[in-house]
Structure formats: structure tokens, C-alpha cells
Amino acid sequence: RSRRLAAFRLSGATPWQVTAMAATGAAVAGVLGTAAGLVAGAPLRALAALVPWRDGPWSPDDLAPPGPMTLLVAVLVPLGVVTASVVGTRRAARSPWGSAGERRWERPSPWRWVAPVLALAVLLWGVNASGEHALPLAVLGLVAFPLSVSLVGPSLAAALGGAFARLWRGPAALLAGRRLLADPVGAYRTGAGLVLTVFLASTTLTLLSNPPGPTSGERPVADSVLTVDLPSTRAVPIADAVRTGLDERGIEATVAVAGLATVAGHGLARWDALVLPCAEAVPFGRVRAGDCAGSPAVLLGGGRAADVRPRVVRHSAGGGALVGDQLALAGGDQLVRRVERDGAPPAEGWALVDPSALADPGALTEAAVLVTTTSGTREATRGVLGGAAPGLAVDSGAQRRAVADQLHEELRWAAALGLLGAGLLAGCGAALSAAGSITDRRRTIGALVAAGASVRALRRASRLEAAVPRLVASLVASGAGFLVGAAVLSRWDLAPSPNGWLVLPVAVGSLAAVVAAATAGPALRSASREPLAGR
């Protein structure tokens, strides 16, 4: 395209005319593609609605984006395509002689390698940092790392071409290697979308490789304890009604009211905490009498040594969301004590806040009614608790863990389905770019055939050129995603759990490489039928 636009410039067209010509073609393609995508969204949403989620069906309307977002996509996608086209034609518009001549690739500056290193450092900093800026830093690093790889991707493609030229002596490998060395930027550009897709999918599936541990919604009570979350103003009357109902049925149980808060440690560490005197928490099974020795304190079970200086954040009334202000500790951070359990998994984490450790316990707006049960009295106690708190959910640790396990499995399926959809687009893009690359070099291929080059060797070279860079890029992106996911998991002393889900990104990348190779053969066969046909 650069040579064609340069020819127009050399024929007398102005830079503005050349830029407008390229922008018009890109605008037509961008508008048509965006319209096709928006039209295809309705039947695709109907298909996606068939996938169950938490044992319930979807409605296609649940998956429809809001009107403003649809309008934003309809405007920004064509605008982005046009902008990319204008930027890409800048060289042809300003320097037509350079575009018309043979372009030589120059090795990029070593400073380009600083970008992915810096992005990875920001990611790790955000994961391990403390304060409200930790999560934005982590997200920024997670987004910037795969994008920064595009700065060094051409160098990797050139290194792969050099390996072809040094390690293989067959004509097909030598031709493919020379092609990668001649235009590593174009070779990487055709697979950049695949790199991004595989990296994000590998990172997500690595983070979801472990089953949900007790750090999610864990409380310092046994799994058999029934709980009801409600506003603090309703907690005491409902607890009294539960005691009366249990006495009438002759059920022996311990009933208590605990405030709800969140202990926020360094970085992304969080614990759902109960605000309850330590001695009153002992009957509920997680806290032991020996843990209550000493002054009132904030007890932490599990977690990391770096998280021993937490802050206590209150819940908002009604929604359970965190409010930005924190509850002051009456004696400062020295009131935080860790509780170690022999044989407890490192991910186990719970928090108990003694009300005396807070300067203002009355600031809590949400509470929980706790009721102990046994296997024989659990259902009867659930009925009493549900009758005393109509319209409120009766929960337990075992029930929360079962829901978390189900949600975790469905999240993995959602990530896998998203990867398959993105992989389908990446495969289509790989096929189009492989065929387009051969079409752009039709004259060169024709000259090689006319000079006596074997069509079979050219076909093998085109397949190697299309498949191997994408396969290697998929492996590198999958490995990078695995390492990033493992780094994030290490924040909670977790390690990735090997399973079949982690192979999926590599499989999708390999499939895209196979599709690209399969498309390159027919495209080259068409280009070699008339070897002396010029354009």
C-alpha cells in the first residue's frame, strides 16, 4: 500500500489527497465492519444466552450493551481504524521516494526492552503496594505489559528469521527466514492480536487455576454456624426473637450479634471481619480461648506477614460495599495480633475485631446474627432464624463455599468461551493476513516461479512463514501470562494449580497458526498460476 500511495504522490497528488484516499478506504471498511458486528450481535447474544450461569438461564437482553456504549463503539471503532490508516500513510505522504524504494529494517534501540520490564514492574508494584492506589497500579501494569510487547515483537520475529537461516538449510526454511528478516515488523503485526488474546487468557486462567480458598468471604465461625446479615438497628430484636423460638422448641444453641467490617491489609489483602468480643466468639468454633489472652485486639488468622498492619473499614448500610473512611483503632496498630494454626492452609484468612479495640464501635451500620447448630438441629434452627428474619437470606460457611466453588467453575467456563471467541477472530485475522501477505508479494512470487523456483518449496516456505511465528508467539505469550498470573497469586502465598485449562490458550494459538498455514497454501497456488503477470 505504501508503494501504491507513493506512486500517486510521485504522479502529482498532494499529501492531503493521498491521506484522504487512504482514510476513505479505511472508513468504508471500518463502518461496514462495525455495522456487521452490531447486526451480528443479536443472534450471537441469543446463542450465548443458552449457556447456563449459576443454574439459571440468561435472557438475550441481559447480554445487550446499553445504548450509550453501543453508540460509543459505533463511533470509536471506525475512528480508530481511520486514525491508524492516517498514521500508517504518513511516511508515503511525506517521503514518497523512500516508500517507493526498498525498505530496510533497522534493529530497534535496546531501550525498547525497557517498556515491558517497566510495565511488569508496575504490575508487581501494584500487587504488593498498599493503599487505594494499589489496584489501579495493578490494572495499569496488566494492561500495559502485553501492549508494551509490541515494541519488541519485531525483534523477536527477526531473531526467529535468523534462527531459520542458521539452523536449516532447506530452501523453504531459508526463504521463510529471509522473509522474516526482511520485514519483521509486518511479520509480527499480523500476529499481534493473537499475542494479546493468548496473554490475557493465560493470565486469567492461571488466576482461576486454584479453587476458591477460604479467603473469600471467610469469617471466624465454623461452617455449621448459620448467619443472617442485616442492618445494625434490626439485629438485636431479631436475635431476641431467635432465642425465644429456639427455647420454645427445646433447641440448645448460642445466639450472638456481631458487627460487620472489613480488615484491609497492605496491597490487595482483605478479610471479612466480625466485630465481637473475643470470649463471645469462642463458642462459634474458629477462635480458641487461648487467643483471647491479653488486651482486646484485632485477631488475624492466616494471610502474610506483610499484612499485619491493617486498617478496619466499615460496611455501608444495605449493600455491603466498602466505605472509604476507616474506623480508628483505639490503641493503634500494635493492637493487631496474628493467630497461627498448625496445619492450616496458607490461604486461610479470617479476622475478628474486639469492639474495645475500636474508638467508635457504634459507627458500624451492618451486623450479623450468629446461631450455632448441630447436624440434628440445623434445619429446625434454619426455620426459626428464617421466621424471625423474613425476607433475609440465611447463610453458612459451607453454603458460601459451595456457591464460591460453583461461581469459580463458571468463571473458568466464561473465560474459556471468551478465549474461544477471541481465538476465532484471531484465526480469521491470521488467515486474512497470511493470504494478503502473499497477494502483496504476487510479483516477487511470480518472478521466483519464472526463474525456476519450485512451487512446492514456495508453498512450504509460505506455510512456515505463516505458522511458526504465530506458534512461537502463542507459546511466549502463554508463558508470560502464566508468569504474571503466578506473580499475582504469590501475593496470597498461592501457586498455580496445574490443570487442563492452562493448555487452552496454547491450543487456541496453535489452531490460529494452523489456520494461517492452511490459508497460505491456496493463496500461493493462485499467485503462482501466472508467474509473469504484473500489476
User: What does the pLDDT read at residue 310?
Assistant: 56
* Structural domain that includes position 153: 136-213+404-535
Among residues 356, 372, 388, which one ends one of the domains? 372
SS3 46: helix
Q: Which three cell numbers stand for residue 412?
A: 473458568
pLDDT per residue, tens digit, the chain (535 aa), is: 777 777 777 888 788 888 888 889 889 999 999 999 889 888 888 887 777 766 667 778 877 888 888 899 999 999 999 998 888 787 777 776 655 455 555 666 677 778 888 888 888 787 776 656 777 787 788 778 877 877 777 777 777 777 777 776 677 777 777 777 777 777 777 777 778 888 888 888 888 887 665 444 578 888 889 999 888 888 999 999 999 999 999 999 999 999 888 777 665 566 778 889 989 999 998 888 888 887 777 887 765 544 555 566 665 444 444 444 455 555 455 567 777 766 554 445 678 888 887 777 777 788 899 999 988 888 999 999 989 989 888 888 778 777 777 777 778 777 777 777 777 777 787 788 777 777 777 777 777 777 777 777 887 888 877 787 888 888 888 888 888 888 778 766 677 877 777 888 888 888 888 888 888 777 777 766 655 554 4
User: What does the pLDDT read at residue 380?
Assistant: 92
- Tell me if 183 is assigned to some domain: yes
308 and 235 inside one domain: yes
Type of residue found at 249 = R
User: What does the pLDDT read at residue 226?
Assistant: 92
As a whole number of angstroms, the distance between CA 506 and CA 508 comes to 5
Report the b/e string of 348-374 with b at 16+ CB within 10 A. ebbbbbbbebbeebebbbbbbbbbbbe
Among residues 53, 84, 103, which one ends one of the domains? 103
208 and 264 inside one domain: no
As a whole number of angstroms, the distance between CA 406 and CA 453 comes to 59
User: What does the pLDDT read at residue 427?
Assistant: 76
User: What does the pLDDT read at residue 363?
Assistant: 73
User: What does the pLDDT read at residue 21?
Assistant: 86
Q: Of the candidates 425, 422, 402, which has an alpha carbon nearest to the alpha carbon of residue 414? A: 422
User: What does the pLDDT read at residue 319?
Assistant: 41
246 and 269 inside one domain: yes
Among residues 355, 372, 389, which one ends one of the domains? 372
As a whole number of angstroms, the distance between CA 244 and CA 255 comes to 11
423 and 466 inside one domain: yes
- Tell me if 128 is assigned to some domain: no
> Residue 110 carries which DSSP code?
G
418 and 532 inside one domain: yes
152 and 99 inside one domain: no
46 and 174 inside one domain: no
CA 523 to chain centre: 36
User: What does the pLDDT read at residue 324?
Assistant: 45
Please name the residues in contact with 367: beta carbons below 8 A apart, sequence gap of 6 or more: 229, 230, 231, 232, 235, 257, 258, 259, 260
- Tell me if 141 is assigned to some domain: yes
- Structural domain count, the chain: 3
As a whole number of angstroms, the distance between CA 27 and CA 25 comes to 5
Residue showing cell 479470617 = 350
- Tell me if 186 is assigned to some domain: yes
- Tell me if 393 is assigned to some domain: no
234 and 316 inside one domain: yes
Where helices occur in 216-299 by DSSP H, the ranges are 232-248, 278-281
- Tell me if 329 is assigned to some domain: yes
Type of residue found at 106 = E
296 and 357 inside one domain: yes
Q: What is the DSSP string of 333-386?
A: GGGEEEE--TT--TT-EEEEE-GGGBS-GGG--EEEEEE---TTTHHHHHHHHH
> What CA dihedral angle connects 92, 95, 99 and 102, to 10 degrees?
-170
- Tell me if 322 is assigned to some domain: yes
- Tell me if 169 is assigned to some domain: yes
SS3 263: strand
Q: Which three cell numbers stand for residue 433?
A: 493476513
Q: Of the candidates 4, 29, 32, which has an alpha carbon nearest to the alpha carbon of residue 18? A: 4
232 and 364 inside one domain: yes
As a whole number of angstroms, the distance between CA 495 and CA 516 comes to 35
CA R_g for the chain: 31
231 and 367 inside one domain: yes
Q: Strands 366-371 and 226-231, how do they pair?
A: antiparallel
297 and 244 inside one domain: yes
Give the total residue count for the chain: 535
